A = this chain, B = another copy of it.
C-alpha cells in the first residue's frame, strides 16, 4: 500500500491536516520547523498524493479522456504523436493528465460493451479523435456522458477542431504561382472501394480534407485562369496503379513543374518516377505534400506542409478545459490555419 498522510502524521507525531496542509495548499501557515519535519518525512517515505482521493474531494478528476476510433477493416490507423504532444503540453498547464481508450468500429460496440472509460465516470472531458465515423452506439454514449466533448480532425458544425485544408491548399497553390509555376498538378489517390462498398459511399466516407484540398486547389487555379489538373483524373484507383498514374503524369512534354501531393502516400510513386526519369527535385519538378513531418525519401529531403497536429491537440484541450470551468451551451468549431512555411526545400522557382 502506498504512503498516506496518516502514515506521515503517525511518523511525525503531527495531525493529518497539518501534514496535508504543508504538502499541498497552505504550507505557508505553518512553522518552519514543522514544514521541515513534514517535507523531510514525506521525501524519505516516498509520499505521493492519491489522485483519486483528491478527485473525490475536489469534484474534478483532473483528467481528460482521449477516445481513438479503431477501424478493423483498414489497418494503419494510429495516434499521431504530434497530437499527443500538443494535448500533453496543454494538459500540463492545467495540472491534468490523460486517459486513452480505443473504441471499436465493429458490431461488438452494439452489444453495449463500452470501454470502461465511457462506462464509468473517469474524466472531466472528452476528446474524440475521429479518423472516420463512429457507430451510433458510441455517439450516443458520448452524448450521454455529461461532460464537455470535442472532436478533432473532423469538420463539424460545432465542437470540432480541424485543420483548414481548403485555405491551406488555396494558399499553397497561390504561392507556387507566385514562384512562377503555371502547370501545377494535384495528385490525390483514392483507394478503390472495399468489398461491399459502393463508390458513392467510398467518397462519402473519405476524410473531409479530400474534398477540401481539391476545392482549394481548383479555386486558386481558376482564379488565375489556369486549368486544374488531377492525377489520376478520376481520383480513384487501386494501389498497384499508383506508379502508372505517376508515370503518366510526369512523362509528358507538358508535365507539371509543380506537384501537390495529397499525402505522404502519393509521394513515393512520384519520387520513384522522377528519379527513374532523371527528373531532379526540386530543379525540374517542385514537390510539396501534406504530412506530419518532413520526409527523406530515396535520398531526397522533402519538406512537408505540416498538418498542425500539435496545435490541434493544444486547442482541443484548451476548449474542453474552458468548457469544464465555465459550462456554456456549446463549443464552437475551430478551423486551424496551416502555416505554409517560408522554407520549402523541395520547391524551386519555376524555370522560364
Chain A positions within 8 Å of B, measured between CB atoms, are: 1-3, 46, 48-56, 59, 61-63, 66, 68, 70, 75-81, 84-85, 88, 92, 95-102, 115-117, 119-122, 144-147, 239-244, 268-269, 272, 275-276, 293-294, 296-299
Known: A79-B84, A81-B77, A102-B84. A50 touches B298 (CB 8 A): no
Are A97 and B99 touching (Cβ within 8 A)? Answer: yes
**Do B120 and A239 touch (CB < 8 A)?**
no
Contacts of A242 in B (CB 8 A): 298-299
Task: Find chain B residues with CB under 8 A from A243 CB.
Answer: 298-299
Q: So how many copies of this chain end up in the complex? A: 2
Partner of A120, one of B48, B117, B275: B48
Q: Known: A46-B146, A243-B299, A299-B240. Is A97-B117 also a contact (CB below 8 A)?
A: yes
A79-B84, A242-B299, A297-B268 known; A98 vs B97 contact (CB < 8 Å): no
A100 touches B102 (CB 8 A): no
Looking at A66, A119, A241, which has the most chain B CB atoms within 10 Å of its CB?
A: A119
Which B residues are CB-close (under 8 A) to A99?
63, 97-100
The residues of B that contact A81 with a CB separation of less than 8 Å are 76-79
Q: Which residues of B contact A63 (CB under 8 A)?
A: 99
* Closest-CB distance, A296 to chain B (whole angstroms): 5
A51 x B84 contact (CB < 8 A) = no
* Assembly CA distance A115 to B117 (angstroms): 21
When the two chains form their complex, are residues B102 and A116 in contact, meaning their CB atoms are under 8 A apart? no
Please list the 8 inter-chain residue pairs (A to B) with the smallest Cβ-Cβ separation, ordered nearest first.
Answer: A52-B55, A52-B52, A78-B81, A51-B122, A51-B120, A48-B121, A240-B299, A100-B100
A78-B80, A276-B276 are known; give 13 further A-B pairs, CB within 8 A.
Answer: A48-B120, A51-B52, A51-B122, A75-B293, A75-B294, A79-B79, A92-B116, A97-B101, A97-B115, A97-B122, A240-B299, A244-B299, A268-B297
Give the chain B neighbours of A116 by CB distance below 8 A: 51, 62, 92, 95-97
Question: CA–CA, A130 to B120, complex, Å?
Answer: 31
Shortest CB–CB separation between residue A159 and chain B, in angstroms? 19
A54 to B51 CA separation, bound complex (whole angstroms): 12
Q: Is the CB of B56 within 8 A of A84?
A: no
Query: Which residues from chain B contact A56 at a C-beta distance below 8 Å?
Result: 50, 52-53, 56
* A261 → B minimal CB distance (Å): 15
Select from chain B the residue with minimum beta-carbon distance to A246: B298
A115 to B49, CA, bound (A): 14
Distance, CA A54 to CA B61, complexed state (A):
13
A-B contact pairs, 7 of them (CB 8 A): A2-B121, A49-B120, A50-B56, A51-B121, A52-B56, A99-B100, A243-B299
